Structure 1
Amino acid sequence: MGRPRTPLLDRQRITTTALEIVDENGDFSVPQIARRLGVQTGSVYHHVDGRDGIIELLRERVAGAIDVTTLDLRPWDAALESWARSYRAAFAAHPRAIPLLMTNPVRAPRVLEQYERAVVLLRDAGFPVAEVMPVIVALENIVLGSALDMAAPTAMWEVTEGAATPRLAEALDAVGGNRADRAFDLALHGFLAHARGRLAECTGA
Structure 2
Amino acid sequence: MSPQTTSRRRGRPTAPVLSRERITRAAIKIVRARDYRHLTMASLARELGVSTSALYNHVSSKRDLLVMIQDSLNGEIDCSSFGAKPWHEALRDWAVSYRLCFIRHTALIPVMAVLPVADSPRTLQMYERVARALDDAGIPGDQAVDVIVGIEALVFGAAYDASAPQNIFDPGGRADIAPVFARAAAQRPAGSRAAADRAFELALDALVDGLRRRFG
TM-score normalized by the length of structure 1 = 0.91
| Moved segments of 4+, more than 4 Å | none
CA-based RMSD of the aligned residues comes to: 1.5
Moved more, 78-87 or 57-66: 57-66
Tell me the SS of whatever aligns to 1:131: helix
Residue number among 13, 29, 33 corresponding to 1:4 in the alignment? 13
Corresponding residue for residue 196 of structure 2: 180
1:63·1:91 contact (CA, 8 Å) conserved in 2?
no
Counterpart pick for 2:131 among 119, 123, 130: 119
Q: Quote the sequence identity (%).
A: 37
Aligned equivalent of 1:143, options 155, 162, 167: 155
1:8–1:170 CA distance, 2 compared to 1 (3 A):
same
Q: Which residue of 2 aligns with 1:171?
A: 184
The offset of 1:105, in angstroms, is 0.6
Query: Quick one: which amino acid aligns to residue 199 of structure 1?
Result: F
- The count of residues paired between Structure 1 and Structure 2 equals 200
2:206 partner amino acid: G
Give the superposition deviation at 1:57: 1.0
> In the alignment, what sits opposite 2:5?
none
Structure 1 unaligned spans of 5+: 201-205
User: Is structure 2 residue 54 aligned with structure 1 residue 43?
Assistant: yes
Displacement after TM superposition at 1:188 (Å): 0.6
C-alpha change, 1:148 and 1:162, in structure 2 (3 Å) is: closer
Q: Which amino acid aligns with 1:78?
A: E
Residue 24 of structure 1 deviates from its aligned partner by 1.7
Q: 1:83 to 1:159 in 2, by over 3 A?
A: same
Per-residue deviation, residues 122-161 of structure 1 (Å, max 9, x unmatched) = 0101112221100110011111111111122122123223
Stretch moving more, 147-156 or 111-120:
147-156
After TM superposition, the score normalised by the length of structure 2 is 0.87
Given that residues 82 and 129 in structure 2 are in contact (C-alpha distance below 8 angstroms), is that contact kept between their aligned partners in structure 1? yes
The aligned counterpart of 1:106 is: 117
CA distance in structure 2 between the partners assigned to 1:162 and 1:99 by the alignment: 32
